[in-house]
């Protein structure tokens, strides 16, 4: 990853969320873990684009860390096997995830569990974010929501009241600042229901904080 690209991304970022270098950063799992470790050694977690992008720090006990975020007992168990082989390291304004896989960097839709490859490595991911941050981070809607309601608190994401996958609108009136873990748990249950139920069947969706 070039110094210029990471420096450009960090120019839009908050102060690091954890101490650097982290004692755990070189232990991050995943095929591209070493590249993520290199970025976190530069800035150990951060928010960017008015909190629309959240990159998890490593090793911290004061904030949500990449290690805790990937703990199967936190929220991943709600997705059954849909998260197998993935290392989750960042999220967009709505809690859509960015993940390391053997093939590259993918987005992960929390409502369906679907993954889509968007970059072959972390350097390409940084370039993709810089080139299309409005689409990839949800910045315009996050900006509009915060203009009305105030700064999005740490640890919360703009989770739809009516899921997007069921026809919920991409509109600030359909968004709540929900606890990020609770939002992932609820949508993990939703994703498994969508996978396992026939078309037209009723689904249940509720966020319990």
Domain span at 13:
3-196
Q: Read off the pLDDT of residues 6-35 as tens digits, 9 standing for 90 and up.
A: 889 999 899 999 987 666 666 666 566 778
Query: Does 18 map to a domain?
Result: yes
Q: Would you say residue 69 lies in a domain? A: yes
Residue 202 lies in a domain: no
**Considering the domain boundaries, does residue 205 fall inside one?**
no
* pLDDT tens digits, 87-144: 999 999 999 999 999 899 999 999 999 999 999 999 999 999 999 999 999 999 999 9
Overall number of domains in the chain: 1
Checking if the pLDDT of 198 tops 70, the result is: no
Res 24: pLDDT: 64
The answer as to whether 208 is a domain residue is no
- What pLDDT does residue 197 have? 67
Is 203 inside a domain boundary?
Answer: no
Work out the number of other CB atoms within 10 angstroms of the CB of residue 190. 23
Rounded Cα–Cα distance for residues 97 and 33 (Å) = 16
Percent of the chain surpassing pLDDT 70: 87
pLDDT at 194: 82
- Taking residues 158-184, report their average pLDDT: 95
Q: Determine the pLDDT at residue 49.
A: 97
So what's the pLDDT on residue 59? Answer: 87
- Please tell me the predicted confidence (pLDDT) of residue 28: 66
CB-CB neighbours of 71 under 10 Å: 11
**Mean predicted lDDT score pLDDT of the chain:** 89
Residue 209 lies in a domain: no
Q: Which pLDDT score is estimated for 21?
A: 65
Write the pLDDT tens digit of every residue in 133-142: 999 999 999 9
Cα 160–Cα 147–Cα 179 angle in degrees, nearest 5 = 35
Residue 207 CA: distances (Å) to CA of 10, 174, 195: 33, 14, 19
Average pLDDT over residues 32-41: 83
Tokens of 131: 């080139």
User: Model confidence at 207, in pLDDT bands (50, 70, 90)?
Assistant: low
Give the pLDDT confidence score for residue 53 in this predicted structure: 98
In a domain, 175, yes or no: yes
Side-chain half-sphere of 182: how many Cα atoms within 13 Å? 16
The residue among 197 and 161 whose pLDDT is bigger is: 161
The pLDDT of residue 204: 63
* More confident call, 129 vs 60: 129
């Amino acid at each position: 990853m070039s110094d210029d690209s990471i420096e450009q991304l960090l120019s839009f970022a908050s102060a690091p969320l954890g101490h650097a270098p982290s004692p755990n950063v070189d232990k991050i799992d995943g095929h591209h873990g070493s590249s993520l470790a290199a970025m976190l050694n530069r800035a150990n977690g951060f928010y960017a684009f008015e909190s629309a992008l959240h990159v998890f720090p490593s090793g911290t006990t004061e904030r949500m860390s990449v290690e805790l975020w990937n703990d199967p007992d936190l929220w991943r168990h709600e997705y059954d096997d849909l998260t197998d082989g993935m290392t989750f390291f960042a999220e967009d304004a709505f809690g859509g995830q960015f993940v390391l896989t053997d093939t590259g960097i993918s987005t992960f839709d929390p409502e369906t569990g679907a993954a889509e490859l968007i970059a072959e490595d972390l350097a390409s991911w940084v370039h993709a974010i810089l080139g299309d941050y409005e689409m990839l981070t949800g910045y315009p809607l996050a900006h509009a929501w915060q203009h009305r309601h105030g700064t999005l608190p740490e640890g919360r994401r703009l989770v739809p009241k009516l899921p997007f996958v069921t026809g919920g609108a991409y509109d600030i009136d359909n968004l709540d600042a929900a606890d990020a873990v609770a939002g992932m748990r609820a949508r993990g249950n939703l994703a498994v229901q969508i996978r396992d139920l026939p078309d037209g069947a009723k689904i249940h969706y509720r966020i319990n904080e």
